[in-house]
Chains A and B, each alone.
Chain A
Amino acid sequence: MSADTLRFVLQVLAVMLGGGTVQLGIFLLRRRAELRQLDTASDVAVNTVTDSLINRLQEDGAIYRERVKSLESRIQLLESRSDAQQKDFAEQLRIAHEENIRLTTRVAQLQTDLDISQRQIRELQGRA
C-alpha cells in the first residue's frame, strides 16, 4: 500500500478516535462533581473491594434485621394470644367457682328445707 493510502487510513483513524475522545471527555465532565473530591497528589487507596464487601454486609444486616423484627412480632402475637387464653380461662374458672358457691348455698338451703320438712313429718306422724 502506498504512503498516501496509509496516511488516509491514519486520518480516518484520527477522526474516529477524535470523536471517541470528545465523547469520553463529555462523559467525564458530567462526573466532575464526584471527581473533584479525589486527592490527586497521593494514591489514597479507597479500596473498592472492601467497599463492595461493606455494601454486601450492610444488605445482609438489613435482611437479618427484617427477620428479627418479624420473629419478634410473631412472638408478641403468640404471647398476647396465650395471655388472652389465660385470662379467658381464669374468667371461666371464676364463673364456675361462683356457680359452685351458689349451688352449694342452694344445696344447703334445700338441705335445711328437707330437714325442716322431715321434722314436720315426724311431728305429724307422732301426733297421729
Chain B
Amino acid sequence: MRDFARAVYRAWQDKPTAVTLPLGMVLIGANAMILGDRASRAFTDLGGSTIIRLAGLAMFACGVLVASGIALSDATYEVIGLALGVFGSAIYGAGVILGLGTQGLITGPENLLIALAFLGRIALLLRRARSAAREE
C-alpha cells in the first residue's frame, strides 16, 4: 500500500495531466453508478439512468485499471483503463449534448475532448512501447 502511494505520488509529479483525470474518474464513476440519472440533469431529461450508470461503470473501471497500471508498473492496465475511459467519457459527453441541447455545449464537448485525449495517450504509449521494444 505504501509502495502504491509512493508510485502514485511519483506519477503525480512526473505526469500530472495523465494521472489526475483517470484516477479522479474512480470517484466520478462511483458517483454516477450510485446516483444514476440524478447525477446529471441531461440524463434525467433523457431518462437514461442505465446509460449513465454504464458510463459511470466504465469511468470507475478506468480509474481502477490506471491505478493498477501505476501500482504494478504494467502499461497494459493503464492502456485498457484509458480505453474504457474513452468509452465512458464519450457516452457521457454525447448524453450531455443530446440531453441539454445548447445548454450542454460546454460540458458535452469537454468530455468528448477527454475521450480524444485518452485516445491520443493510448497511441503515445503504444508508440513508446514499440520504440522501446525495438531498441533491444
Instruction: Give A residues with C-beta under 8 Å from B.
Output: 3-4, 6-7, 9-11, 13-14, 17-18, 20-21, 24-25, 28-29, 31-43, 46, 48, 51
Q: Which residues of B contact A20 (CB under 8 A)?
A: 87
Q: Which residues of A contact B78 (CB under 8 A)?
A: 40
Other than the given A28-B83, A34-B132, 12 more pairs (CB < 8 A) read A14-B54, A20-B87, A21-B58, A21-B84, A21-B87, A25-B83, A41-B73, A42-B10, A42-B11, A43-B18, A46-B131, A46-B132
Q: Which residues of B contact A11 (CB under 8 A)?
A: 48, 51
Instruction: Give B residues with C-beta under 8 Å from A.
Output: 7, 10-11, 14-15, 18, 45-48, 51, 54, 58, 69-70, 73-76, 78-80, 83-84, 86-87, 90-91, 94-95, 98-99, 122, 125-135
| Contact of B48 with A10 in the complex, beta carbons under 8 Å | yes
How long is the Cα–Cα vector from A38 to B131 in the complex, in angstroms?
11
A interface majority secondary structure: helix
How long is the Cα–Cα vector from A37 to B74 in the complex, in angstroms?
7
How long is the Cα–Cα vector from A17 to B84 in the complex, in angstroms?
10
- Selected A-B contacts with CB under 8 Å, 30 pairs: A3-B45, A7-B46, A7-B51, A10-B94, A11-B48, A13-B94, A17-B87, A17-B90, A21-B83, A21-B87, A28-B79, A28-B122, A34-B130, A35-B74, A35-B75, A35-B76, A35-B129, A37-B132, A40-B11, A40-B73, A40-B75, A41-B14, A41-B70, A42-B10, A42-B14, A43-B14, A46-B132, A48-B128, A48-B131, A51-B135
| Contact of B133 with A37 in the complex, beta carbons under 8 Å | yes
Min Cβ gap A37→B in Å is 6
- B69 in complex: contacting residue of A31, A33, A40, A42, CB < 8 Å: A40
Q: Which residue of A lies closest to B48 (CB)?
A: A7
| Contact of B130 with A41 in the complex, beta carbons under 8 Å | no
| Contact of B47 with A38 in the complex, beta carbons under 8 Å | no
Q: Which residues of A contact B130 (CB under 8 A)?
A: 34
Min Cβ gap A46→B in Å is 5
